[in-house]
Structure 1
Amino acid sequence: MEHDIKELLIESQEEGFFFLTRLVAEYKNGQNVFNKTGERLWGVYGEQNKLIGVAGLNRNPYSQYANVGRVRRFYVSAQFRRKGIGKQLLKGVIHYAENYYDSLVLYTDTDEAKLFYERNGFQCVYNQHKITHEYKLKINILNVH
């Protein structure tokens, strides 16, 4: 993984993003290797087998509920943005998550990412610890008699 992600890691740091740095560090030390039930780490490869995007899915560590997934470490190389790659990657995460969770949450602090997630069905969430957006995977229907 470390060799594959090196260029993407440098690019993300130059953009001021350090979550891929955490991804590599936590993967190396075993803190988060995306290997629990319902967890996964994706990589998108372009020409010459070059890694151009990553996304992770964990059970939300900030929730007491096991049915909430957390989209993490989502990054697409700047030169490949606005080409549908991020959208396809996110669709893959959502499709996989439907088997394990009722909803997905994430945290972002950039306007570009907020717009991206909102265009792809995520709703803004307010006043929640480390959550800015949520995507409902399953609708809970209450039977009222």
Structure 2
Amino acid sequence: MKIISLTYLGEHDIKELLMESQQEGFCFLTKLVAEYQNGQNVFNKTGERLWGVYGEQNKLIGVAGLNQDLYSQYTNVGRVRRFYVSARFRRKGIGKRLLKEIIHYAENYYNTLVLYTDTDEAKLFYERNGFKRIHNQHKITHEYKLKNVH
């Protein structure tokens, strides 16, 4: 397994993950592809990045993005977005490693990370990895205070 920064999101790379996520009832990878293709979000601003997790045969088995947060009332906030690991690779530490990679990178740019999720499985995952539940915030369910190195 390797985690790399994606500088170009090829449609062929993400096709299987996209279909799997749609079958699970998730639309956020569909949004990822659409926004990437139309240029609305290509993860290229300061402090932004898109990651891919590749397994055997160089096959994409997970993705995640980090954007400057548009919804927070505070500055210096990053948003974890479009976090998805293929179902058959879950509970193997891959998501945890990907999230650690995001946190490590984000420490260079942000004071806090935020995200929004509406599934119990994801809520548990983020809380087990140090994110705190937030209430009454628009488009934010969890936050993580970073130990800045910059």
Please give the range of the TM-score, normalised by the shorter of the 2 chains: over 0.9
Partner of 1:107: 116
| Residue segments in structure 1 that go unaligned for 5+ positions in a row | 140-145
For residues 61 and 132 of structure 2, the distance between their equivalents in structure 1, rounded to whole angstroms, comes to 26
Tell me the SS of whatever aligns to 2:134. Answer: strand
Counterpart of 2:106 in structure 1 is 97
Among 44, 56, 62, the residue aligned to 2:65 = 56
TM-score by structure 2 length? 0.91
Aligned partner of 2:23 among 14, 17, 21: 14
Check if 1:41 corresponds to 2:46.
no
2:78 matched to 1:69? yes
User: What secondary structure, in the 3-state scheme, does the structure 1 residue paired with 2:84 have?
Assistant: strand
Q: Which has the higher contact order (CA 8 A, sep 6+)?
A: 2
SS at match of 1:26: helix
Structure 2: distance between partners of 1:102 and 1:19 = 25
Distance 1:64 1:100 in 2: 17
Aligned-pair CA distance for 1:64: 4.5
Rounded Cα–Cα distance in structure 1 between residues aligned with 2:60 and 2:133: 30
- Aligned-residue RMSD, C-alpha: 1.0
Q: Count residues with an aligned counterpart.
A: 139
> Which segments of 5 or more consecutive residues in structure 2 lack a partner in the other structure?
1-9
Q: Deviations over 1:23-78 (max 9, x none)?
A: 00000000000000000000000011110000000000112533000000000000
Identity %: 85
Larger Rg: 1
CA distance in 2, matches of 1:126, 1:70: 16
> Runs (4+) of structure 1 moved beyond 6 Å?
none
Once residues 145 and 73 of structure 2 are traced to their aligned partners in structure 1, the CA distance between those partners, rounded to angstroms, is 17
